[in-house]
């Protein structure tokens, strides 16, 4: 490998591969992630080059924080299993002085309003009893998702028994969260992170297996079996595009339903005055595939942990539980295929974080945030992530910062 450095990014050149352009100045990236980027760059259908964002780190199949444009094929494992995972943020008319001195009741109100953790929207969080799907959820499912899902499972019945409507409007676990934040003007924002939940995982996993089976059947050798792909024009390709498009819509609607539930809970939370939500709202995917035009060709762009940052487009780049987050506006940089990072990016594995940090470490790092401070979230502690300031500095030519947010409440699954 040879690496050259430009003003804004580094270029890795590997024999038999397209270049890898990395916006990682000042941000560490592990060798395993570099090897994954090289493997992807050797695929014969990659268009021009692979772009790596400053939060890039090792992932299953392809590097998290990578942008992969392809002509004539899609790699399902590069898209991943949390299809359509992304962020939503809404500015409110509330200001810091409007928040109560004690934020624990506000956090509790949000936790009651949105099922989180290993839960779903049919279980009452107060009584533990099972009930009906909430009307607001059932209506969105029936009008926008149900019929399309039936078409997909008619051809692929193994997907049918996934958690779908019972996960619609729910947060999940891991790094998914709901936050109240203050911006540089002391205005209150609601921000959340989630995706397509159980049904997206089932769809992604199912088609990843199909791709592996097809590659084996055709005796195609790949540097990593997780780079198995569907050639465009085949039945599996068409079915995958249809299914992943549906899952991405599920994820978007999921975030909209949760946001509505959070805003409703805040309207009734003790100590908060009535408020409105101005026009600033962002809802963006960061694990998805889309058809786009770049460098004279219509291509499939897979953003695995990356946000579209076309000129003037708004995006969200969150930090960790105790770090800053950013509302950004894209600069439309063509060399990144109009993309930016999706967050700070993990600095270590979850297992390593649990070994390295204590509950006391986590409590100290999040002392300014009303949030969980127990063993169950140590793997999400701020020190487990790369420094968000360095990540933002490395992509100054990709986005401009519109608002800088700091958390005051964080709900984790």
Residues 6+ apart with CB under 8 A from 279: none
pTM of the model: 0.95
Q: What is the pLDDT of residues 321-346, one digit of tens each?
A: 889 999 999 999 999 999 999 999 99
Q: Is 120 known as a binding-site position?
A: no
SS3 229: coil
Query: For 376, left (φ over 0), alpha (ψ -120 to 50), or beta?
Result: alpha
d(CA 70, CA 61): 15
Answer whether 114's CB lies under 8 Å from 411's CB.
yes
Q: Is 286 known as a binding-site position?
A: yes
Q: Structural domains in the chain?
A: 2-347+385-412 (3.90.1860.10)
Q: Is 294 known as a binding-site position?
A: no
H helix and E strand count, the chain: 10, 18
Catalytic residues, which ones? 342
Q: Is 342 known as a binding-site position?
A: yes
Q: Is 343 known as a binding-site position?
A: yes
Q: Is 279 known as a binding-site position?
A: no
Q: What is the pLDDT of residues 262-301, one digit of tens each?
A: 999 999 998 898 999 987 789 999 999 999 999 999 999 9
What the block records as the tokens of 384 is: 């487990």
d(CA 53, CA 255): 24
Q: What is the pLDDT of residues 170-214, one digit of tens each?
A: 999 989 999 999 999 999 999 999 999 999 999 999 999 999 999
């Amino acid at each position: 490998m040879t690496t050259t450095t430009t003003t804004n990014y580094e270029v890795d050149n590997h024999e038999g591969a397209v270049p890898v352009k990395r916006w990682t100045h000042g941000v560490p990236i592990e060798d395993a992630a570099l090897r994954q980027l090289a493997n992807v760059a050797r695929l014969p259908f990659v268009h021009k080059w692979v772009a790596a964002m400053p939060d890039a780190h090792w992932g299953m199949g392809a590097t998290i924080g990578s942008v992969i444009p392809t002509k004539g094929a899609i790699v399902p494992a590069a898209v991943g299993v949390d299809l359509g995972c992304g962020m939503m943020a809404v500015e409110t008319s509330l200001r810091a002085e409007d928040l109560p001195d004690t934020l624990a009741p506000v956090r509790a109100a949000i936790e009651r309003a949105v099922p989180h953790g290993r839960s779903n929207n049919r279980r009452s969080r107060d009584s533990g009893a099972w009930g009906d799907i909430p009307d607001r959820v059932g209506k969105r499912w029936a009008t926008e998702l149900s019929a399309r899902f039936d078409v997909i499972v008619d051809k692929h019945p193994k997907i049918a028994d996934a958690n779908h409507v019972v996960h619609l409007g729910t947060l999940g676990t891991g790094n998914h969260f709901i936050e109240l934040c203050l911006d540089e003007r002391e205005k209150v924002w609601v921000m959340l992170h989630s995706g397509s939940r159980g049904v997206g995982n089932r769809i992604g996993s199912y088609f990843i297996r199909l791709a592996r089976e097809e590659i084996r059947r055709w005796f195609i050798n790949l540097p990593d079996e997780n780079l198995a792909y569907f050639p465009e024009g085949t039945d599996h390709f068409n079915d995958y595009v249809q299914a992943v498009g549906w899952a991405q819509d599920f994820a978007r609607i999921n975030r909209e339903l949760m946001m509505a539930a959070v805003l409703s809970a805040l309207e009734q939370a003790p100590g908060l005055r009535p408020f409105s939500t101005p026009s600033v709202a962002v809802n963006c995917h960061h694990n998805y595939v889309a058809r786009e035009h770049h460098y004279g060709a219509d291509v499939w762009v897979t953003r695995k942990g990356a946000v579209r940052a076309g000129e003037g487009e708004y995006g969200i780049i969150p930090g960790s539980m105790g770090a800053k987050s950013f509302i950004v506006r894209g600069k439309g940089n063509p060399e990144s295929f109009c993309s930016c990072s999706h967050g700070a990016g993990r600095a270590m594995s979850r297992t390593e974080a649990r070994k390295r940090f204590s509950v006391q470490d986590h409590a100290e790092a999040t002392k300014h945030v009303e949030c969980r401070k127990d063993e169950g979230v140590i793997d999400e502690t701020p020190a487990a992530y790369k420094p968000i300031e360095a990540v933002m500095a490395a992509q100054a030519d990709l986005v401009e910062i519109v608002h800088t947010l700091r958390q005051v409440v964080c709900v984790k699954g």
